[in-house]
Structure 1
């Protein structure tokens, strides 16, 4: 039996890409899922797909930039399933741009979703996990959390922050048997690049993703691997690139 069987897993950004693939991967291994995203039509379809295979799954429409909504999500998980074993902090945005373009709204959106959203997710589940003396928080960073490229400056800043937050969480909560995992994907087939409006950058990024991007289930398998380890084993960090991606 998989160590994922019957674990209650909250997934943010579950309506597409890595979040959707992770929901399907974990459902197939017997997890009880709490899905969260902004697009209800996508969540409803995903719920139906998973229920067709017999998996227990609920969803809630939320915006991760709202602490109150993240608290409500955690409360819903507890009410339905009685515990929270895993949080996958997957929601994120990537509107790359050169700094001189001064796309301030995009900067604020990345800070709000990629940093505050991660923190709000941690805050929502941590009291329960500390009380349980067990839990697992998986934060999605990026290769941009390791290497800063032209045009990715603000995005990379947010993803470096995710790594710092994850490492701090690990050190603070190891004594409570709460595991922390950072997963840093390279180019993955998803909707992330659709938000890029900088016309000097987008063609090159589109070409990169067209040439090398790997499927989202390449990341969902890694997430499942981290979750299914024995309780005394913590997979703290993984970088997962397409083989042909140089940086």
Structure 2
């Protein structure tokens, strides 16, 4: 069995040519879980896999990570075979924010009679969630206001930070079994995002060697990160992952 993390887009919010940052966990080439759904993510997903996602995890509710959910709603609602089947996993604390961003506009359809979430299968969580017989850990990250962004980890396989400042306390818990790490990183950091100098200050070399960097500001910035010895993700890239390990005994 093969496991991969495919990067549909890798850019910061303003780096539209690189696509909105989003990844797909693949098992034997089949999409298992989409992480985030920005303005162009649905097109990139369907171009790659031929159908909309069956499961989606949301890290946080900035529009470059959730704006595609309106189009996904229409795609699902008007297909009887898909309506109500796509799971949407997110930390329970994000639900009010996501509701306000994508679901609160008066009338999901002009004709009325439709509640936005009826098109989906909403699954709020706190510590994590089960999907396809796998336990995914959810952990808080450092992006804008505390409690508004959460990363994702599959024990023994990968950690996806989402948008964040460095989170050594999270990686000390979730990246101790050889996981591949997809980490937010631009050439220069700011109060809400990691810069390359932050990586070098906060993480040991052994951890940085397992990182693939994304959410950078331009193709040129990406190549500058490569020149500094880092591996970056480019749109469409796949990173081979280790086989997931059983969840910790406390999970579930």
Which has the larger helix fraction?
1
- TM-score between both structures, scaled by the size of structure 2: 0.37
Which has the larger strand fraction?
2
- TM-score between both structures, scaled by the size of structure 1: 0.37
